[in-house]
Amino acid sequence: MSEKEPTKKRTTVSKATEVPQCLPAIPSLLLVNSKFETIGGHVDNFIGIPLNENSPFVEVVFDPEKKILGLISKIRKPQYQFIAKLDGNGFPKPINNPKLAEATGRKFVQERVLTEVYHEYYLIDKKDIETFLKIHVVETGFNWMKFLK
């Protein structure tokens, strides 16, 4: 008796399981000098701007006082926010009750509105910031290390 060869199953990969082609090209950010507004005035810092539309970030901002790197991603999420209520002419409606205005510290009526906002991430560890920047930033000779000291 001859042994039958096992039948070979043909597998196909659906488009849903393929690796997406929209993954960002690394590196995808360019660092530039900027100013960070503080209570005491403006402080030197840097920001990262996307080099192409495939970058997963809208912006990257470094807070020089707290030594935190803020990442604003392209991922959107719904979030409620208070927005000034507008009158028929498009101007914010003032609060007519002076006691309410004083208690809340606001001058205008606000309404709660569901909006889409970009998801934010914060890197607080120096090593994490260094690793992130080494992976995602184009090497141009920009000295970002001076801000981490």
pLDDT digits (tens, 9 = 90+) for 5-45: 444 444 444 344 343 455 444 788 999 999 888 778 888 89
- How far apart (Å, rounded) are the C-alpha atoms in residues 12 and 51? 36
pLDDT value of position 14: 39
pLDDT digits (tens, 9 = 90+) for 53-102: 888 999 999 998 899 999 999 999 999 999 999 999 999 999 988 888 88
- Does pTM surpass 0.75? no
Burial of 97 (0-12, 13-18, 19+ CB in 10 A): exposed
pLDDT value of position 28: 87
Domain ranges for the chain:
24-148
DSSP string of 114-137, one letter each residue: EEEEEEEEEE-SHHHHHHHHHHHB
